[in-house]
């Protein structure tokens, strides 16, 4: 019998708790709930969930306090589900260690996809700083061959430059997860990289011309405006 993944829902609105509990239970997850930050901190330590769904607007503390406390000792995936939609809120949460950020209202299918991606990421060996990975990533006609350092679209070599390849490869290693501009800059160009995102935007524009049938409507790499980029989940 397969062991169910355990998800802790940290949320104080009963209607949302009931909705999330029903959706998660119907999709094979074990659900735990905590309406306050204090109870959540106790349950995280005692129940060791496989993933946390975190609302930021809790009655007794800001959800960011919980996120930072968890990241001080645990790598459990955290998906923020919040009514806060400002870019800075998203950037702050992702930079503090959240694996993903969904704004309310949200679609249940998208939520489930983000949960699967976050859990899968924790069970996949992390990328090394020089992307010394092996194997193949595939998604809807896109193929990344990590051994050959080549990217193909429907079997044709996309002819990416070295920097373009590194950016695509890094996004694919975290497929389904939003990577902030700051994270990408530091991973690809080192901790001393400038905070200006112009180099990223130039590389991404070139990548989309080579990978996408319509660069204005990408199907492989999505822009989270003001936050970063996200690669489509693999097949």
DSSP per residue, 27-93: TT-EEEEESSHHHHHHHHHHH--SEEEE-SB-SSSBHHHHHHHHHTT----EEEEES---HHHHHHH
Q: Is 140 left (phi over 0), alpha (psi -120 to 50) or beta?
A: left
- For residue 131, being part of any structural domain is answered with no
pLDDT of residue 127: 44
pLDDT at position 235: 77
Do 90 and 54 fall within a single domain? yes
pLDDT of amino acid 131: 43
pLDDT at residue 22, rounded to an integer: 96
Q: 105 and 23: one domain?
A: yes
Same domain, 16 and 111: yes
**How many domains are there within the chain?**
2
Residue 156 domain flag: yes
Query: In the prediction, which pLDDT does 211 show?
Result: 95
Pair (11, 118) in one structural domain:
yes
In a domain, 1, yes or no: no
* Domain final residue, candidates 90, 122, 154: 122
pTM of the predicted model as reported, rounded to 2 decimal places: 0.65
CB 151 within 8 A of CB 142: yes
129: in domain: no
Q: pLDDT tens for residues 135-144?
A: 789 999 999 9
Q: What is the pLDDT of residue 158?
A: 94
Whether 225 is in a domain gets the answer yes
Residues 118 and 156 in one domain: no
Domain that holds residue 177: 136-231
Q: Which residues of the chain have pLDDT under 50?
A: 125-132
């Amino acid at each position: 019998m397969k062991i169910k993944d355990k998800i802790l829902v940290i949320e104080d609105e009963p209607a949302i708790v009931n909705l999330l509990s029903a959706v998660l239970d119907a999709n094979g997850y074990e659900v735990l709930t905590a309406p306050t930050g204090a109870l959540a901190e106790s349950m995280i330590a005692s129940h060791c969930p496989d993933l946390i769904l975190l609302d930021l607007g809790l009655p007794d503390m800001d959800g960011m306090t919980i996120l930072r406390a968890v990241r001080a000792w645990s790598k459990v995936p955290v998906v923020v589900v919040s009514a806060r939609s400002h870019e800075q809120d998203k950037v702050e949460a992702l930079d503090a260690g959240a694996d993903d950020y969904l704004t309310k209202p949200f679609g249940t299918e998208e939520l489930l996809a983000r949960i699967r991606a976050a859990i899968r990421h924790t069970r996949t060996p992390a990328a090394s700083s020089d992307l010394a990975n092996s194997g193949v990533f595939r998604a809807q006609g896109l193929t990344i061959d990590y051994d050959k350092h080549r990217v193909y679209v429907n079997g044709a070599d996309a002819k990416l430059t070295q920097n373009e390849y590194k950016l695509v490869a890094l996004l694919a290693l975290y497929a389904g997860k939003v990577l902030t501009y700051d994270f990408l800059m530091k991973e690809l160009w080192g901790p001393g990289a400038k905070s200006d995102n112009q180099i990223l935007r130039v590389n991404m524009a070139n990548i989309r011309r080579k990978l996408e049938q319509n660069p204005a409507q990408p199907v492989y790499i999505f822009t989270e405006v003001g936050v970063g980029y996200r690669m489509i989940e693999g097949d």
